Amino acid sequence: MFREEIKVLDCTIRDGGLMNNWRFTDKFVKAVYDACVASGIDYMEIGYKSSEKSFSRKEVGCWKFCDENDLRRITGDNNTNLKLSAMADIGRVEPEDIIPAEESLLDMIRVAAYVHQMDKAIWLAEHCIDKGYEATINLMAVSTVMERDLEEALVDVAKSKVPVFYLVDSYGSMYCEQIELLVRKYQKYLPGKTIGVHMHNNMQLAFSNTVSGIIYDCNMVDATFLGMGRGAGNCPLELLLSFLKNPKFKIKPILQVIQDYILDMQKEVDWGYHIPYLISGALNQHPRTAMKWMEGENKNDLVSFFNQMNDKMDL
β-sheet bridge partners, residue 111: 88, 137
- Whether the CA torsion 198, 74, 265, 251 is positive or negative: it is positive
Enumerate domains of the chain plus CATH numbers.
Answer: 7-265 (3.20.20.70), 275-310 (no CATH)
DSSP line for the chain: ---TT-EEEE-HHHHHGGGTTT---HHHHHHHHHHHHHHT-SEEEEEE---TTT--TTTS-GGGT--HHHHHHHHTT--SSPEEEEEEETTS--GGGS--GGG-S--EEEEEE-GGGHHHHHHHHHHHHHTT-EEEEEETTGGG--HHHHHHHHHHHHHSS--EEEEEETTS---HHHHHHHHHHHHHHSTTSEEEEEEB-TTS-HHHHHHHHHHTT--EEEEBGGG-SSTT-B-BHHHHHHHH--TT--SHHHHHHIIIIIHHHTTTS--S--HHHHHHHHTT--THHHHHHHTSTTTT-HHHHHHHHHTTS--
What pLDDT is stored for residue 160 in this prediction? Answer: 98
121 close to 113: Cβ distance less than 8 angstroms: yes
How many residues are given for the chain? 315
d(CA 3, CA 37): 20
Alpha carbon 32 to its chain's center:
16
What pLDDT is stored for residue 2 in this prediction? Answer: 83
Query: Would you tell me the crossing angle of helices 206-215 and 237-244 to the nearest 10 degrees?
Result: 30
The whole-model pTM stands at 0.95
Phi-psi region of 172 (alpha: psi -120 to 50; beta: other; left: phi over 0): left
d(CA 298, CA 67): 38
Phi-psi region of 13 (alpha: psi -120 to 50; beta: other; left: phi over 0): alpha
Alpha-carbon distances of 305 from 283, 299, 301, 308, rounded to whole Å: 13, 8, 7, 5
d(CA 109, CA 204): 28
251 close to 241: Cβ distance less than 8 angstroms: yes
What pLDDT is stored for residue 313 in this prediction? Answer: 62
What pLDDT is stored for residue 228 in this prediction? Answer: 97
User: How confident is the prediction along the chain (315 residues), in pLDDT tens digits per residue?
Assistant: 689 999 999 999 999 999 999 999 999 999 999 999 999 999 999 999 999 999 999 999 999 999 999 999 999 999 999 999 999 999 999 999 999 999 999 999 999 999 999 999 999 999 999 999 999 999 999 999 999 999 999 999 999 999 999 999 999 999 999 999 999 999 999 999 999 999 999 999 999 999 999 999 999 999 999 999 999 999 999 999 999 999 999 999 999 999 999 999 999 888 999 999 999 999 999 999 999 999 999 999 999 999 999 876 654
What pLDDT is stored for residue 270 in this prediction? Answer: 86
Report CA dihedral (73, 79, 80, 83) to the nearest 10 degrees: 70
162 close to 136: Cβ distance less than 8 angstroms: yes
